[in-house]
Structure 1
Amino acid sequence: MADPALSPVDALLEVMARLRDPDNGCPWDREQTYSTIVPHTIEEAYEVADAIAREDWTELQAELGDLLFQVVFYAQIAREEGRFDFNDVAHGIVEKMIRRHPHVFADERYATAAEQIAAWERIKAAEKPGQPTGVLDGIPLALPALTRAVKLQKKAARVGFDWGAVEPVLAKIEEEIAEIRHEIASAAPPERLADELGDVLFACANLARHLQIDPEAAVRGTNAKFERRFRRIEAWLAEEGRTPTESTLAEMDALWERAKGDER
């Protein structure tokens, strides 16, 4: 049991150190490395997003704890290797936030949000002097593809590489759909189809950006809707003693429309 005199954060750090203790710690925790923890970190971040989407605030508290534990885990490994520790992580983010918000913590003033964003990028660039800074630098490759597409588009938009309205974006989507139709009709190889489909999805991400919609959240919502409606189809078929494999597409389509109508 953690020392009750410790602060919650210090107690968490103590628990993590005990788990990693080379003599009496947990075998699984001792085996972990930076890279092996990454999938768990990504999963915990998505579970935070899921709790928020469901507005389950009790679950959100628990999921935020799980996500914080991931940060503590990385910091403990780094501490063991003499690189840095949790306090260094916390100190670094405090300094960064103060440095990047001179309009809050100093006397800088910006007339518009666009000016503030431009200043943020200048400050970021100044933090790494001597490094080449392309417009699209700094976007992690490991991001979900649609999220990364939006970030690429936002960065390009800051230097004027963007349409100023939704209509050209819609036209671009239609153009890309026409191109993939052509490839399908031409019996194009899978790599060509993948390339054209990627263009369609990239254009759709651009539309989401112009509509100020998170494309990942939009697809998650559609996934949930599909799952909800399909489960109703399964339930209705089960009432008849059947499964989806024992019904026809026409029957399932009719039940799908019934589920849609019930939701309205």
Structure 2
Amino acid sequence: MIDFEQKPSYDVSDLVEIVRILRAPGGCPWDREQDHKSIRRDLLEEAYEVAEAIDEESPEHLKEELGDLLLQVVMHARMEEEEGRTDLNGVADGICKKLIYRHPHVFGDVTVTGTGEVLANWDELKKKEKHQETAADSVDAVARSLPGLWRAEKIQKKAAKVGFDWDSVDGAMAKLREETEELQTAIAEGSNVSEELGDLLFAAVNVARFVKADPETAMTAACDKFARRFRAVEEAARAQGKDLTSMTLAEMDALWDAVKQQEA
């Protein structure tokens, strides 16, 4: 039996100790086998589940998911501690120093007039901190692990800061049409389809940026809308005594159009 005091209430230090026990000899075999790469996806999934709880506006769900995400942070910090490189306090020390450094208007003598100057100062301090000397350095620094649409948006914003951008959404729309034509040509020729599709998606993100729409949020909404309408189509088919697999595309399209009209 592990020597551990069970309590009616726990804090972060208790979580750190529980994770230490789980990964120690005599702890949990599964937890002991994990490394940074094996639980990398878990970290991402927990972050998305936090985002979902925020969208739901559910305090209890958010509390639970934040706990799951915190566990991932503590697990990774514990792995680093086992290697003698750092620990959770080291992680906290790093982020505290970063926050102090990037908020000179709070912890220093810099004066700002509003959020715009705060963000501008943040970007400049980040560049110095990361030794980003050129605009290309800033673009290269955008994490490859980001979802594709978000990465495209961040890259475009970095380029736009030095003037590499259209004057209005009209230019972005023209580029979107151009990339659509190039994709059609690629499909007809049977070559470079994936590359041209990527260019089209990148161009679509540019349009989203100009109209101030989050491309990932827009895509999520489109997926939700499709799922909702698809369910309605299937239910309408069943009401007619039919199964989707036995229907023609034209018949399903007719039901789809009817569902759209009902939502309008």
- TM-score calculated relative to the size of structure 2: 0.89
Q: Does structure 2 retain, via aligned residues, the 8 Å contact 1:2–1:15?
A: no
Write the distance in 2 (CA, Å) between the matches of 1:225 and 1:74.
Answer: 37
Q: Does structure 2 retain, via aligned residues, the 8 Å contact 1:229–1:256?
A: yes
Unaligned runs of 5+ in 2: none
Paired amino acid for 1:120: W
Secondary structure of the residue aligned to 1:135 is helix
Secondary structure of the residue aligned to 1:212 is coil
Q: Please show how residues 167-246 of structure 1 align to structure 2 within 5 Å.
A: 167-185=170-188, 187-189=189-191, 192-246=192-246
What residue is the counterpart of 2:91 in the other structure? 89
Distance 1:132 1:165, change over 3 A: closer
* Structure 2 residue 19 is matched with structure 1 residue 4: no
- Residue 169 of structure 1 and its aligned partner are, at CA, apart by 0.8
Q: Does structure 1 retain, via aligned residues, the 8 Å contact 2:104–2:110?
A: yes
Write the distance in 1 (CA, Å) between the matches of 2:89 and 2:8.
Answer: 19
Paired amino acid for 2:218: A
Write the distance in 2 (CA, Å) between the matches of 1:257 and 1:117.
Answer: 46
Paired amino acid for 1:213: A
Which of residues 141, 166, 170 is equivalent to 2:144?
Answer: 141
Paired amino acid for 1:195: E
Q: Please show how residues 46-195 of structure 1 align to structure 2 within 5 Å.
A: 46-111=48-113, 113-128=115-130, 134-185=137-188, 187-189=189-191, 192-195=192-195
Alignment length (residue pairs)? 259
Q: Deviations over 1:54-106 (max 9, x none)?
A: 33443222111111111011011111111111111122112211210112332
What residue is the counterpart of 2:47 in the other structure? 45
Write the distance in 1 (CA, Å) between the matches of 2:143 and 2:171.
Answer: 28
Write the distance in 1 (CA, Å) between the matches of 2:108 and 2:260.
Answer: 54
Q: Deviations over 1:179-208 (max 9, x none)?
A: 2223333x232xx11111111110111111
Moved over 4 A (4+): 111-114
* Structure 2 residue 17 is matched with structure 1 residue 14: yes
- Residue 41 of structure 1 and its aligned partner are, at CA, apart by 0.8
Secondary structure of the residue aligned to 2:80 is helix
Distance 1:165 1:32, change over 3 A: same
Paired amino acid for 2:89: N
Secondary structure of the residue aligned to 1:195 is helix
Paired amino acid for 1:219: M
Unaligned runs of 5+ in 1: none
Distance 1:74 1:213, change over 3 A: same
Q: Deviations over 1:215-257 (max 9, x none)?
A: 1111011111111111122223233443210222222222222
Secondary structure of the residue aligned to 2:178 is helix
Give aligned-pair identity as a percent: 47
